Amino acid sequence: TQLLEQSPQFLSIQEGENLTVYCNSSSVFSSLQWYRQEPGEGPVLLVTVVTGGEVKKLKRLTFQFGDARKDSSLHITAAQPGDTGLYLCAGELGGNQFYFGTGTSLTVIP
């Protein structure tokens, strides 16, 4: 059983479309992170959210941490082919130990 459930598992969209990826859990996290991983590489940190209800924006990406710190979402506006990759959420329960979701594989078609 995964501590963090991500949905959808796979997403294929046309360039210019918007999308949202969800990360849900029944556990409360001290912080939650989003990563993007490309083939043959390790995950690269996109953002860390710490406070319940927190919203962070990174260009066309908007990240939100749920009020209860159990869930998070990633919204991409006007997706581009360069956004293609595996998106991973990771929750920290404490003590620098992170639990990862199973990931959302995004393909943006030109």
Partner 1 sequence: KAGVTQTPRYLIKTRGQQVTLSCSPISGHRSVSWYQQTPGQGLQFLFEYFSETQRNKGNFPGRFSGRQFSNSRSEMNVSTLELGDSALYLCASSLLTAKNIQYFGAGTRLSVL
Binding residues for partner 1, rule: CB under 8 A, are: 2, 31, 33, 35, 40-45, 48, 50, 88, 90, 92, 95-103
Contact of 108 with 13, CB cutoff 8 Å:
yes
Nearest to partner 1 of 33, 72 (CB atom): 33
Nearest to partner 1 of 13, 50 (CB atom): 50
CB of 14 to partner 1, least distance (A): 26
Angstrom distance (rounded) from CA 55 to CA 98: 21
CB of 1 to partner 1, least distance (A): 11
Please list, in sequence order, all residues whose beta carbon lies within 8 angstroms of the beta carbon of residue 98, skipping any fewer than 6 positions away: 33, 90, 91, 92
- State the amino acid at position 95 in one-letter form: G
CB of 31 to partner 1, least distance (A): 5
